[in-house]
Chain A
Amino acid sequence: MKTSPVDREAFQRMAPGIITAAGFLGDDPRSPERIIEEDAIFFDELGLDFDTVADRLQELAKRGEAGLGEPITVGKLLVQSGDARGMLPCPWEDGFFHKNAVSVSPAEIPLEACVEGEDMLIYSELSIHMLRAHHFCQGRGSPFRLEPSLIKRLLF
């Protein structure tokens, strides 16, 4: 697949130190194109749909806000919605999003025992946008990676 100039520039902005210190690719050796292609296949295999997942993540973030910064039980999940100072541009330059971090984990596992990326999903407004608009889940090793199998296990 040929990479468009817009995508090429977006992928360059995903490197550490451009938009965020950590970047969006983690320690994933795959190219961003490859990450997007393979995650689309995983989504398909798991019966997930990008818009539905984005809607669910957005809904949980909203319900987590009721905890006023502390974790709150939402059904079988524990959700914590926290904010940080500022806004982040999308690497595709199609919007600015409040810096925040929402964590979602199974309520039956104590928070201190949860492992990020294994039991706990972490995402932001920007993560939801990139998932919905660009089908980009971020690279493996990125703290904000939306791992399809974990999404399936936790949210559906």
Chain B
Amino acid sequence: MNPILVGPLTVAGVSTVLALIIGVLDKFLNNYGEVEISINAGEKKLEVKGGSPLLGTLAAENIFVPSACGGRGTCGACKCKVISDVGPHLPTETPFMSPQEIESNIHLACQVKVRKSLEIELPRELFSIKKYKSHVEKIRDLTHDIKEVLFSLDEGEIDFVSGQYVQLVVPPYGEIKESVQRAYSMSSKPSDSKHVELLIRLVPGGIATTYVHKNLKEGDAIELVGPFGEFRVHDTPAAMICVAGGSGMAPFKSIFHSLHETNAFPEKEIWYFFGARTSKDMFYLDELRELQAKWPRFHFVAALSEPSPEENWQGDTGLITDVLDKYLQTKVAKTDAGWEGYLCGSPGMINACVNVMKKNSIAENKIYYDKFA
């Protein structure tokens, strides 16, 4: 044999033998067998195969804990309480945990490996979350970077409350070799339980939004998981002060049309502040003005932050927080019922609006939002 080949062949041979030994050992040492996951003190008991992360193990049993990163431990969404001792928190978990959460044994389900029987706690609402097969019925451009996408469920119906969200399961495409999930508020009405409508804004560099904007076509099959979220109208007589920008319109579209359809909470006055940069970033203007005309308790305020003179914009101008402040001080009626805030947008927009609302005497515990970051 050529002596030059002896070295590499020896290394390759030894590596192969070592790989085989590791494979055999792994099969025996890491075989956790069947284990039990007891949820909420035995309310649900699952017999599962051990060895996989808790998040995926639960999903395989049709229990879907919210997750936006596919289990890579980067979204921090899949928090759950683990009663059993699973060891100290991993360095991948601690950035997402408050000291109280660490003290209470809250873990990221994607970072907990099911090595033995476990006792965990989950919100009961998660038991009703399902994965839906659907196809895209219609895609409409609302602005240059926001699409309205209507999904028709292939089977079954979705039971949700206006304000909740679903996770869109984006299949592998292009250089993206694995499926990812992202959360979007539903803009459709709960009464249309065979459809889900989402408003999806193109995020530069975003995997899911790029897929929707560049790849998704009418007729395509796609999966949705949901419904998730606590954002909803509260049953009080207080006036709703709602603020959104961009695709933050979605939950409010669902809420307003649903309230109008059902006449729920008839004592509530509803103020809706929607901000965009220029008139070409504004959408649903006619629809919302029409709703305002036929629904006396609904008040719609649209504002542009940077309109150009040639746009001839007749509405309010300025950042939506400034417009909100002005209206709360001068135009929104102060009644005994008081006000409560409803927000949907970026964390920066939410923080700024919370400050304006607090300044105008809305208690922080009366300001509701789903912060998607």
Interface residues of A (CB under 8 A from B): 16-23, 26-27, 65-73, 80-89, 96, 98-101, 103, 110-112, 116, 120, 122, 141, 143-144
List, in ascending order, chain B residues with CB within 8 A of A88's CB.
Answer: 74
Cα–Cα, bound, A16→B173 (Å): 12
Q: Tell me if B50 counts as interface (CB < 8 A to partner A).
A: no
Cα–Cα, bound, A100→B281 (Å): 21
Interface-centre pick from A18, A67, A96, A98 (highest chain B CB count, 10 A): A67
Contact code string B338-350 (vs A, CB < 8 Å = 1, else 0): 0000000111110
List, in ascending order, chain A residues with CB within 8 A of B183's CB.
Answer: 85
Contact A83 B176 (CB under 8 A): no
Query: CB within 8 A of B373: which of A17, A85, A96?
Result: A85
With CB as the reference atom, state the residue of chain A lying closest to B320.
A68
Q: Tell me if B276 counts as interface (CB < 8 A to partner A).
A: yes
Query: CB within 8 A of A67: which of B178, B207, B277, B347?
Result: B277
Cα–Cα, bound, A110→B279 (Å): 13
List, in ascending order, chain A residues with CB within 8 A of B245's CB.
Answer: 68-70
Q: Tell me if B33 counts as interface (CB < 8 A to partner A).
A: no
Contact A143 B180 (CB under 8 A): no
Contact code string B72-90 (vs A, CB < 8 Å = 1, else 0): 1011110000000000000
> In the complex, how many angstroms separate the beta carbon of A71 from the nearest chain B beta carbon?
5
Contact code string B256-291 (vs A, CB < 8 Å = 1, else 0): 000000000000000000011100010000000000
List, in ascending order, chain A residues with CB within 8 A of B313's CB.
Answer: none
Contact A73 B306 (CB under 8 A): yes
Query: CB within 8 A of B345: which of A18, A65, A69, A101?
Result: A69
Decide yes or no: A70 and B246 within 8 Å by CB, A83-B348, A87-B95 being known contacts: yes
Q: Tell me if B92 counts as interface (CB < 8 A to partner A).
A: yes
Query: CB within 8 A of B145: which of A26, A68, A83, A112?
Result: A112
Q: Tell me if B319 counts as interface (CB < 8 A to partner A).
A: yes
Contact B373 A99 (CB under 8 A): yes
List of 8 A-B pairs having minimum Cβ-Cβ separation, nearest first: A69-B346, A143-B205, A86-B75, A112-B144, A83-B373, A68-B349, A103-B204, A96-B95
Contact A19 B306 (CB under 8 A): no
Contact B176 A111 (CB under 8 A): no
With CB as the reference atom, state the residue of chain A lying closest to B306.
A73
With CB as the reference atom, state the residue of chain B lying closest to A69.
B346
> In the complex, how many angstroms separate the beta carbon of A74 from the nearest chain B beta carbon?
11
Contact B277 A19 (CB under 8 A): no
Q: Tell me if B372 counts as interface (CB < 8 A to partner A).
A: yes
List, in ascending order, chain B residues with CB within 8 A of A68's CB.
Answer: 245, 275, 319-321, 345-346, 348-349, 352
> In the complex, how many angstroms separate the beta carbon of A29 from the nearest chain B beta carbon?
13
Q: Tell me if B300 counts as interface (CB < 8 A to partner A).
A: no
List, in ascending order, chain A residues with CB within 8 A of B246's CB.
Answer: 69-70
With CB as the reference atom, state the residue of chain B lying closest to A93.
B91
Q: Tell me if B177 counts as interface (CB < 8 A to partner A).
A: yes
List 10 additional contacts besides A21-B70, A85-B75; criterion CB under 8 Å. A17-B177, A17-B178, A22-B175, A68-B275, A68-B346, A68-B349, A70-B277, A82-B203, A86-B69, A86-B96
Decide yes or no: A82 and B76 within 8 Å by CB, A21-B176, A116-B205, A120-B204 being known contacts: no
